[in-house]
Structure 1
Amino acid sequence: MTPQAAAPGAPVAGPTRGVFAPTLALGPVVVIAGAVLGGGRAALAACLGFLVVVAFFGLGQLVTRRLSVAVDPPRFVARASAIVLGQLIFLLLVILALRDAAWLDGPAFGLSALAVALAWQVFQVIAFVRSRRVVFDAPDKTRQDGTPPT
């Protein structure tokens, strides 16, 4: 049986909506925590960490939606896994590049990036589990002998 064309972004449309709102709500929390624990410089670093993670994972969601059009499930999973791995590698490279920046509070940046990335992943799993997905193929329009039903 050939895979049927899905609506653009169908496998990730629900999870995308279920991830952005709770993750964006976490932004002020990490910035306030940075301000309370480390002052203005830490709050700025926490805000930057939040923005970097949301930009990386948001862009990954958009790419995943674009690549999920009319793709069979094994290819979709492979593509989505590659995108997530790429996101995590690029995020690690950004964190490593900024770790020795004198103008940045490194621990506040790293902890806020870690907290937001973990929250994004948790909310993404929750949203995907709650989304409705077809888990079986539509029945064939032919009988077992290959003739159409009468």
Structure 2
Amino acid sequence: MPSNDARTLLQAVVPTAAAGVIAAVISGVVAGGKGAVGALVGALVVIVFMGLGQLVLIRTAKSLPQLFQAMGLMLYVAQLLLLLIFVAVFKDTTLFNPKAFAIALVVSTVVWMAAQARAHMKAKIFYIDPESAPGSKGSGTSERDEKTGSSS
């Protein structure tokens, strides 16, 4: 994984984990031990789902760049539906507090998406390949410019 991709992933995981810890502390105070466990499980589910989704997008961008945007949209819809299914499945559990789980799930998802957006906006990603050789197809000159000798 290139360092830029790892940096983006890390910049989303760290705030989400911090939000999960804060949610666990608050849930622990409000709902006891089961509330803290529910909040931690909710944050962990978000980190795993969103992290795997990010890795899928990274691989898609490398192998099939023309599908990147469609894959991203489909992946986010699928992730949100899966998170909704998790809330529905665990709504009557006795392992942890389901309300703390659901709240931590929503908060962690919002934090992940905000952190990912911020990381992407702060990333310095080249939109022109700086290593391409002069006169090659990626250098920014068209074949017509090379034939006429004009520069743009």
Report the TM-score, using the length of structure 1 for normalisation.
Answer: 0.80
Query: What is the distance in 2 between the residues matched to 1:35 and 1:75?
Result: 43
Task: Give 5+ residue unaligned stretches, structure 1.
Answer: 1-7
- 1:11/1:68 contact within 8 Å kept: no
| Structure 1 residues 18 and 103, CA gap change in structure 2 (3 angstroms) | closer
**Percent identity between the two aligned chains:** 26
- 1:22/1:123 contact within 8 Å kept: yes
Specify the alignment match of 2:25 in structure 1: 32
Displacement of 1:63 in angstroms is 0.9
* Within-5 A mapping of 1:48-127: 48-72=41-65, 75-127=67-119
Query: What is the distance in 2 between the residues matched to 1:102 and 1:22?
Result: 28
| Structure 1 residues 76 and 9, CA gap change in structure 2 (3 angstroms) | farther
Higher helix share: 2
Report the TM-score, using the length of structure 2 for normalisation.
Answer: 0.79
| Structure 1 residues 11 and 88, CA gap change in structure 2 (3 angstroms) | farther
How much is the aligned-residue C-alpha RMSD, in angstroms? 2.6
- 1:64/1:79 contact within 8 Å kept: yes
Corresponding position: 1:139 with 2:140: yes
SS at match of 2:145: coil
